[in-house]
Structure 1
């Protein structure tokens, strides 16, 4: 019987290795799997490459992961947002590598990884600092830069509903980067607020099929986040 639910966060994250590339769903505070990120801290892993929309906020989740010195490199679109003081301190002190990627390109690089596409050309960022060292070609009279698919060792995502096969739904803006992160990782772990029986989810509402999900942890609504 297929049942992808783990007993707890520790079990779900037990084999995440050092130096892993970790894809984080979420847009700011919305749809980010903060309890899984906090659980990642408890495993003791370090030297991580984190891929996320932003650099975290306050002192929880990704920001805490940065503060504890577990992250070597950050790949993101918006490293400076309200409350991203920990990133600013670390980057200013030369303790953190940063790769800036336009938001649409970031999403497409992960989607490409999940779809088996090794690279693609996009006009975004061509002939700017973001395209330095990358191949550029002209298409229809416009310069396009070659971007590589972005694979993850692990993806930590948040869902609204899940069944034991790993089929997931999302609530409103909580969908954001979560589906493409799930597609692009070797190991995808989801925290879900609600558990549904097989057949209870409307197939038209399932955004992430269970084939992309390896483990699930039930985090009921109202549980504390760090």
Structure 2
């Protein structure tokens, strides 16, 4: 389980094509943000309303599950391909729960992956997220060549039906990237998230668990809700 709350997130926008000029550190193509509770208040104000929650299931359900996860977290990938699939079949698609997915960023690659997922809009988001988790080992590779990772992510985007023009626009949207990081910091701080995957079920925080344990908690909360 990843446990790196005070993470150094480096946004190498030059690797995305060099179209962005962000000058927080005085550089024309790379911006470094140290996201910690100590300096979060010093970050430039951004509009986090432009980063909506991604939601599945019954919007009016009595039980809400919020997952906090990173596209570069191997434990999140394992959860997605096992427990989440069963939850989707038995609780989300049946309308028993409202399921909210929130992104955590431990590195620039996780941010870039989330930008690709959001590029497809709400209708395609979870399908692209599934692809990112299923192919995590392949698109991350050795994790050392940003250009190769960007190329791999664009390939996933194209398989999901996104055009080069759409990908160029999304991957060079510096305002959205900063809003996504600010949104992550706001939500993770509010829910005291320090590991991934983590879950908030009707306001109560839980760590990673098996499907059987998850189902038992959901059944109890559904019973309590009447």
TM-score normalised to the size of structure 1? Answer: 0.24
Q: Which has the higher helix share?
A: 2
Point out which structure has higher relative CO (alpha carbons under 8 A, 6+ apart).
2
Q: Which has the higher strand share?
A: 1
TM-score normalised to the size of structure 2? Answer: 0.24
